[in-house]
Structure 1
Amino acid sequence: MTFEIRPVPVPEAIGTPEAREFEAMAEVGALVEESVWGHRKFAWNPSELLPRFRDEQYQPLRAFAAWRGDRCIGRVECTWERSEGAETLDLVLGVLPEARRQGVGTALLAAARGVAIELGRDILTAMSDVAAAALEAPGDRLEARDGSGSIPASDPGAAFAVSHGFRLAQLERVSGQPVGGRDAEFARAFAELEAGASGYRILTWVDHAPDHLVDSLAIAQQAMSTDPPVGESTYDVEIWDAARVRATEAQAIESGRTSLFAAAVDASDTVAGFTELSLPEGSASAFQWSTIVLEAHRGHRLGMRLKLANLVQLHRVAPERTDVYTWNADENEHMLAVNVALGYTVRGLSALWQLDPAPADRADAGTAGTGATTGS
């Protein structure tokens, strides 16, 4: 059966006739997440996605969707860092289960490679997920160089990536923990740590960082693109300053997501480390995003103090949240140990794939442009 690949227009507002294709693309993303995890907790709805697609300054987003008639059956989102020297294009590619193995994913990947050529990017990266229940599927296994995990080679995402020349660069452990009713437990554990702590204050805030911390928070945010383990993957350095901190805060608020921060501040009132929880509107879940302690400040249990402080804040600000999810490199033993101590358990693995195109690929791949393509 034939299908058509075309760019997804970015509407002015959700819920309008002009937003139909954008909303259909987001729904496909949610259906793909559900096919892997059995739920949609990790999916971004159209209202959350729209502000991200409007970012042309730091990490632009462009999407293509696959259509069979008036039904969207797949999509690829392409995002990239605008910083000088950046060389990667990151993809989120998914096809509905019933439309797989029909050339749809290959056509979407071709559209994404056209964007890479247009931008002069030589490296493509992408993720695929394997839920815990599917990790022990029989057959051959794929292992990253670092860490101890592996995924079945038969997993649909892995099979697609390998067949298109991607290599497995890193595995991330997807973990979750229940938090409902644990407010007293977290408060007690945090108080015990604070009683024996010195040299650093823990500050918390919602959505908007205190003005006097913005510059040093930007330094810590930039370190998130250089300090965590990256396996055999290529990560572009993100350039952060106060303006980017404020722009990111504004984008999260526009997306309807509440951001909870905890920061360790040293005697000079400089951010030594921070952690962030992202709370989607209308969800019972929270998501543990960045956590980092800058190298000069490690060895003081700041990671545990930060996470406990933010869990205490979570119960104060959003007591209706029942669980928290986090993603960590499989080789990041220290952070994984902190998470296990907090009560996180493994829910699955995310595989980071990287494609380093051969020189010949750039000569004949064409360009994505703005036109439509068809396939069967």
Structure 2
Amino acid sequence: MIKQIDLQDDTALRQAHEALERSSAVDRPWFEPTPYDEWVADVRFVEPEERFELWGAWEDDSVVGAAMVWLPDADNTWMLWTELDVHPDHRGRGHGTGLVEQMVSRARDEKRTTVLTEFRVPQKDFENHPYRRFALARGFEPGWVENVRHMPLPVSEELLTRHGDASAKAAEAYDVKLFAGDVPDEYVQGLCDLYNLLGVDAPSGVVEFEPETMTPKRVRDFWALQREQGRTRLFALAIDRETGAVAAHSDLVVPPPPSTQVWQWGTYVHRDHRGHRLGMAVKVANLRRLQEEFPGRTLVRTSNADNNAYMVAINEDLGFEIVEKGVAMRLPVAAAE
């Protein structure tokens, strides 16, 4: 049975969280689970410009699979984004198919023309992985592929100095400023402008995104949520010294203990400021601060499209290694007759 989960129902939410975490850990020895309290804060976060729903696959009155659903209402309103997981002990019983069918139904209800999803698979022979075969059999089409990379910490000072010095020389017309948790008012709109363009400029195969509509209030609400979860967001911004424009950013998110990992949540250089090695400059500055303030962390996780040559080169120069593939797929949805 497929039905929507009440976001105030702790019993159902804990079962859904267990199914999601167990599913996400398959074939991923480095997987680090998200504690329930952190996860449920995300689930219950109210975002006026993007609705969230949680749908469960139920078996014997328990949730054994779940689809998280995001419905953007301020931009890219043609899409329904979902992440779908079934507990490994309950696969092969039609729960995944039932969740996909429900996502198609919701897309039609909302007059969305595309369901988008993404999943992680081992790098080797990812095209024949059961997850991809499952999606293809249910009408999904290839979207884009990302390289998911890890970089062991700490990064050597010699490497940081070498790349830091080279990028500083190329970016001599810019200042790199570091912040934690929040960003001063004078830079927030410029940072929003970068966030809004990231999805447009990032390679996304046959899927075309329009600019997002992130505003200072929206990002500050997200940052406040992360602080409540015990997460520390580290910002590195490249500022054009002449105009004061925010030209580039790199964000790292440090989850609270017992986590030992760090998440790279975006690096982007504005199209008007490329060619000055700003991507490397902000990444190096943020990594230096990370290692000074969080010395016990073991690795940084990041991902980027496999055909994003510029960011691939930066990540490889810094020592990021591919550990798996992120496969994005789309399902065209015909309007209900």
Range of TM-score over shorter length: over 0.9
Say if 1:183 and 1:57 are closer, same or farther in 2 by CA, change over 3 A.
farther
Aligned to 2:201: 227
1:182 is the counterpart of 2:156: yes
Q: Which amino acid aligns with 1:304?
A: M
Aligned to 1:349: 325
Aligned to 2:249: 274
Decide whether the 8 Å contact of 1:284 with 1:320 is kept in 2: yes
Task: Classify the secondary structure of the residue corresponding to 1:261.
Answer: strand
1:126 is the counterpart of 2:117: yes
Query: What CA distance in whole angstroms lies between the structure 1 residues aligned with 2:120 and 2:244?
Result: 40
Alignment deviations for residues 75-106 of structure 1 (CA, whole Å, 9 cap, x no partner) = 11101222145210011001122322221101
Q: Which amino acid aligns with 2:115?
A: L
TM-score normalised by L of structure 1: 0.84
1:257-296 matches, cutoff 5 A: 257-266=231-240, 267-282=242-257, 283-296=259-272
Say if 1:23 and 1:93 are closer, same or farther in 2 by CA, change over 3 A.
same
Decide whether the 8 Å contact of 1:87 with 1:236 is kept in 2: no
1:35 is the counterpart of 2:26: yes
Aligned to 1:203: 177
1:49 is the counterpart of 2:39: yes
Aligned to 1:253: 227
Task: Classify the secondary structure of the residue corresponding to 2:201.
Answer: coil
> How many equivalent pairs are there?
334
Say if 1:59 and 1:182 are closer, same or farther in 2 by CA, change over 3 A.
farther
Query: Gaps spanning 5+ residues in structure 1: where?
Result: 12-17, 137-150, 364-376
Q: Which amino acid aligns with 2:4?
A: P
Decide whether the 8 Å contact of 2:178 with 2:235 is kept in 1: yes
Q: Which amino acid aligns with 1:209?
A: V
Aligned to 2:56: 65
TM-score normalised by L of structure 2: 0.93
Query: What CA distance in whole angstroms lies between the structure 1 residues aligned with 2:18 and 2:76?
Result: 34
Q: Which amino acid aligns with 1:32?
A: S
Decide whether the 8 Å contact of 2:12 with 2:62 is kept in 1: no
1:7-156 matches, cutoff 5 A: 7-11=4-8, 18-41=9-32, 43-53=33-43, 54-84=45-75, 86-132=77-123, 135-136=124-125, 151-153=126-128, 155-156=129-130
Query: Gaps spanning 5+ residues in structure 2: where?
Result: none
Decide whether the 8 Å contact of 1:81 with 1:236 is kept in 2: no
Say if 1:270 and 1:7 are closer, same or farther in 2 by CA, change over 3 A.
same
**How far apart are 1:198 and its partner, in Å?**
1.0
